[in-house]
Amino acid sequence: MEKLVAKEINGYRYAVCKNLLLDTVPAAFAGQWLDSAPGADTLILCDPEPFPESVRLFAKAHPEGRVIAPNYTAFVLKGILGDGFKCETLRSDTKIGEIEFAAVSRSGKGSFLKASETGKLLWSGISAEKTIDAEVYDRPTAVICYVSGFDYTQKMAEKIADGIRDSGENDAILLDIRSETTENVIAKMVNAAGILIGTSSSDGDAPKELWEVLSSMKHGLFAGKKAGVFSSCTWDTRAAEKVSARLTQIGMVVSEGPLTIQYRPDETAMNSVYELGYDFGCVIQNIPNTHRSKLVKCLVCGEIFDASLGTCPVCGVGMDKCVPVEDEIINHKEDTDRTYLCIGGGIASLSAAEAIRKRDKTGQIIMISSELSPPVNRPMLTKNMVVAARVADSITVKEPDWFNENGIELQLNQTVASIDPVRKTVTLNDGEELLYDKLIYGAGAECFIPPFIGKDKKGIFTIRHLADLKDLWSFMPSAKKAVVIGAGALGLEAAAELKRNYLDVTVLEAGARPMPRQIDEETADALIRAASEFGISIFTGVTITEMAGDEKVEAVLLEDGTSFPADIVVVSCGVRANLGPAQSAGLECGRAVKVNKYMETNIPDIYAAGDCAELDGVNFQLWAEATEQGRVAGANAAGDKVSFISVPLGANFEGMKTAMYALGDVGTGGLDYKVVEYRNEVENSFRKYWFADDRVVGGVLFGNTVKIPVLNEAVEKRLSYFDVKERL
């Protein structure tokens, strides 16, 4: 390290540190200078936080010393320390040669930096003084700090380091936080080109040793630095999210993600870990990543996304539940003057618009949406209510600029009144008439509320749109008790989120058990026990008759006279396709608009996709199916010839300190089954696989869902026991 050196210039002493200074000074003040040269006993505050106690201590130790700060900070300090306190302000009109600052402020126990007589960097605090030597690197270097429970997070860190080193002329340093002092970790991170933090977690929080380091990382030293987060965890992935939030809080530029892997990372997951390192190595060198395609497919929800995101943006699972896929092959491109109308503000309509633009760069594309905001990742509305309600931008599928960049006109808060297939027009509710050459009907579905007495009272909600969640969120501060009607995956997710927000939660289910079509009786009982341990009561086999109360709901009444007090009621009883304009236009409908494998309806030039489409008698109502159907509809509308192929997707639930995944036939199809079971009493988990004719037809994973890739492959390929027994 190049030490701080005291120099005499024009009769004043200065402390010079070329290697540390630019990392120490926040960007907001990096270009500001002083109107006169500071002496050795000078405290220069560069951070917008005032740190009054540090300033008071400095003034007491140096009665004749000078305190220099930005205008706002100086104003705040005078207000706190009184009118007698003297503080000069940083100015931008005078440079003082190559010399910059004699001292720099820091918050927390390192309150300010100042040159000592020995020339070292003095980390001075309220109760103690420590001298640290900040590491200096001769090439772009990433510091990877981690805490590992078993060795999983450590193995991830090592793989990330391999990726960083392979990306170019740079280096990576690994730091096991449990074997390092906080001061040494900080000293090694200060001059790093980028920082990656790895955390293990079994309870949704990072270890205390890591939080000690994170709390010692201050804005003044780390603002503007590149950062990323990775994690090996059990069922709860929130630890990595909390670490990422802390790094963002101190002004670091955090990569999208974080990358989370549940339990032991397999080969596929470690490939994604390596890719994270390679990509981060390119970032700290400011070079493009041309390594290879990084698209992956989520095995839980079917979303295809860039592996650099680290977690699925739709359902939130980690990279261990994703597999690599190749980018879409486009067989037809033709630039036209057609007008494409995409009706709907969901993923089907958006996917159609994107598929069209990939094939037709000049055609006019108009999306008609009844929503008030661009399309969002709808599954996140129940998986993470807090983020969805408070930081809505974080769950949008595409950034607002994406629509402008791709020439897609997004009309929000608009509904379709009618469709005229003969004239090829669509009339909106405000009377505006739009012409089309090709029409994609992706109007989606709405939540179904059974005809309970009092179902229109205030305090009764469904969760289908972002506006629904915001309405629910407005009721939360005054609510104490919540009732969720429906024990499907979405209902249980909503219940878990309400409980996390400190409400007393009861779940009422009309069926004999939760998710009777997706899971077996034992798994349902395990879910009910997990809910009970989490503080949620689930009652099955109930018949609801009334939402009691005056204008606002006060209780849910059952047929047998039982009453459940409720300030909030969330109804999760399935959805019904939006068919009004489609039926009026003459589109053939069953439960939804009937389509063939090309998403074509019975009327030429009109396609349907998503929750409002029905193929071979099946209305899928799944995110992945809506995405793929929209892509197929858009591709064919633009002149391509693409078929829709359904891929089995499982029922997934994560919450209440457990996880569950079920796929295929779990003993409900009336076949002659054999069941293979694996149990772990320590972690309260089990795996069950159903075989018919010696082929895997379905399975359930409870408590530990790391075997999702194995189960998916076994069911999709109908593998035999001997094909897959070593991996079950």
Number of domains in the chain: 5
The rounded distance, in Å, linking the Cα atoms of 386 and 494 is 11
The DSSP secondary-structure symbol of 424 reads T
Residue 235 binned pLDDT confidence (cut-offs 50, 70, 90): low
pLDDT attached to residue 273 = 87
Does residue 262 register a pLDDT over 90? no
Does 455 map to a domain?
A: no
Average pLDDT over residues 684-699: 94
Residue 53 binned pLDDT confidence (cut-offs 50, 70, 90): low
pLDDT attached to residue 17 = 30
Residues 678 and 690 both lie in one domain: yes
Residues 438 and 534 both lie in one domain: no
pLDDT attached to residue 291 = 62
pLDDT attached to residue 108 = 32
Average pLDDT over residues 40-49: 54
Residues 553 and 467 both lie in one domain: yes
Does 547 map to a domain?
A: yes
Residues 412 and 473 both lie in one domain: no
Average pLDDT over residues 506-518: 94
Q: Is the peptide bond before 648 cis (omega within 30 degrees of 0)?
A: no
Does 646 map to a domain?
A: no
129-138, 263-272, 379-388 — which is least confidently predicted? 129-138
Average pLDDT over residues 82-106: 48
The rounded distance, in Å, linking the Cα atoms of 547 and 75 is 57
Among 646, 644, 645, 631, smallest CA distance to 359 is for 631
Give per-residue pLDDT as tens, 635-668: 999 999 999 988 777 889 988 989 999 999 999 8
Total residues belonging to the chain: 728
Residues 274 and 172 both lie in one domain: yes
Residue 106 binned pLDDT confidence (cut-offs 50, 70, 90): very low
Give per-residue pLDDT as tens, 600-644: 999 999 999 999 999 999 998 889 899 999 999 999 999 999 999
Does residue 15 register a pLDDT over 50? no
Residues 685 and 663 both lie in one domain: yes
The rounded distance, in Å, linking the Cα atoms of 611 and 445 is 6
Residue 58 binned pLDDT confidence (cut-offs 50, 70, 90): low
Does 645 map to a domain?
A: no
Give per-residue pLDDT as tens, 112-141: 333 333 333 333 333 233 445 678 888 899
Does residue 42 register a pLDDT over 50? yes
Half-sphere exposure of 225 (CA within 13 A, CB side): 29
Residue 384 binned pLDDT confidence (cut-offs 50, 70, 90): confident
Q: Select from 131, 162, 178 the last residue of a domain.
A: 131
Please tell me which residue, 481 or 295, carries the higher pLDDT value: 481
Does residue 448 register a pLDDT over 50? yes
Residues 552 and 633 both lie in one domain: no
Does residue 11 register a pLDDT over 90? no
Does residue 38 register a pLDDT over 50? no
Q: Select from 290, 324, 358 the last residue of a domain.
A: 324
For residue 474, the enclosing domain spans 460-573
Does residue 91 register a pLDDT over 90? no
Average pLDDT over residues 694-719: 92
Give per-residue pLDDT as tens, 532-578: 999 999 999 999 999 999 999 999 999 999 999 999 999 999 999 99
The whole-chain average pLDDT of the chain stands at 83
**Domain CATH for 374:** 3.50.50.60
Average pLDDT over residues 457-477: 93
Does 40 map to a domain?
A: yes
The rounded distance, in Å, linking the Cα atoms of 231 and 213 is 16
Does 703 map to a domain?
A: yes
Please tell me which residue, 406 or 89, carries the higher pLDDT value: 406
Does 643 map to a domain?
A: no
Please say whether the beta carbons of 101 and 220 come within 8 A: no
Does residue 179 register a pLDDT over 80? yes
Residues 618 and 707 both lie in one domain: no
Percent of the chain scored above 70 by pLDDT? 82
Residues 567 and 595 both lie in one domain: no
Instruction: Name the residue with tokens 């200074």.
Output: 21
Could you tell me the CA-to-CA distances from 555 to 460, 471, 545, 564 in Å, in that order? Answer: 11, 19, 11, 5
Does residue 428 register a pLDDT over 80? yes
- Sorted by sequence, the CB contacts under 8 Å of residue 481 that are 6+ apart come out as 503, 504, 505, 506, 564, 565, 566, 567, 568
Residues 558 and 593 both lie in one domain: no
Does 334 map to a domain?
A: no
Percent of the chain scored above 90 by pLDDT? 53
Instruction: Name the residue with tokens 């927000």.
Output: 501
Average pLDDT over residues 587-594: 97
Helix or strand or coil: residue 43?
Answer: strand
pLDDT attached to residue 302 = 81
**Domain CATH for 222:** 3.40.50.360
Residue 62 binned pLDDT confidence (cut-offs 50, 70, 90): low
pLDDT attached to residue 19 = 27
Residues 146 and 287 both lie in one domain: yes
Residues 66 and 183 both lie in one domain: no
pLDDT attached to residue 25 = 32
pLDDT attached to residue 65 = 67
With 0-12 / 13-18 / 19 or more C-beta atoms within 10 angstroms meaning exposed / middle / buried, residue 118 is exposed
Residue 33 binned pLDDT confidence (cut-offs 50, 70, 90): very low
